[in-house]
Amino acid sequence: MLDMISFRLMVFPLLLLAALWSSGCTSSTPQSAVGVAGGGSIRLERSGAGFKRAENDRVVISDASLQAVNFDGNNYVRWTFTVRPKQAVELTGIRIEDVTGPSPLLLINDVAPQLQDGVWKENAGLMEISSPAARWLSEPKETVRAFKFTISETNSQSYVLYQGSLQSPATKEALRRMVSR
């Protein structure tokens, strides 16, 4: 009987250790695979209620958000993007595409980007809520949009970063309410 108890006391910790090891007890950031235009997918790291900011050693994408806009009494939505260089760089181009759908949708193509207070900020064009580019706002489920940033510098260096934007059903409902007023 004593041998059975000592055997269990020895085996139980080993089984527990094996279970923890195989379940990945180390903390890892959850990732989402998002399908992109042209086939394939990208991996975006989740962070809180959204996605981690895309970055490399040169720049960080500090904003990719959707906002409601009233222009001349008409209501629209538009994307706002901000890029913050981490070091002194001279940017010669910033191209942003929504690559969530079957084909990329060009939102911004700035061939002479200017930094103001150390950041580049730009708004995409206005979209009617009923336009094909904004139709996903009426879907009741959570929506992920993926943006491809192609950034060029004077030294002929260019790089691509992907930034995700997560729109919850509540956020989409609030935007629809703001635009329907």
3-state SS, one letter per residue, for the chain: CHHHHHHHHHHHHHHHHHHHHHHCCCCCCCEEEEECCCCCEEEEEEECCEECCCECCCEEEEEEEEEEEEECCEEEEEEEEEEEECCCCCEEEEEEEECCCCCCEEEEEECCCCCECCEEEEECCCECCCCHHHHHHHCCCCEEEEEEEEEEECCCCEEEEEEEEEECHHHHHHHHHHHHC
Chunked into runs of 10 residues, the chain (181 residues) has average pLDDT values of 48 40 50 85 87 94 94 92 93 96 94 96 94 89 95 94 94 87 68
**What is the pLDDT at residue 53?**
95
pTM exceeding the 0.95 threshold for the entire prediction: no
**What is the pLDDT at residue 92?**
96
**What is the pLDDT at residue 28?**
55
**What is the pLDDT at residue 49?**
81
**What is the pLDDT at residue 132?**
87
**What is the pLDDT at residue 77?**
94
**What is the pLDDT at residue 48?**
84
**What is the pLDDT at residue 82?**
98
Nearest to 108 by CA among 145, 143, 81: 81
The sheet with strand 158-167 has its strands ordered as 105-110, 91-98, 143-153, 158-167
| Separation CA 99–CA 106 (nearest Å) | 9
**What is the pLDDT at residue 29?**
62
CATH for 31-180 is 2.60.40.1940
Lookup result for tokens 């929504």: 98
C-alpha distances in Å from residue 138, one per residue of 65, 171, 179: 17, 11, 12
Which amino acid, 93? G
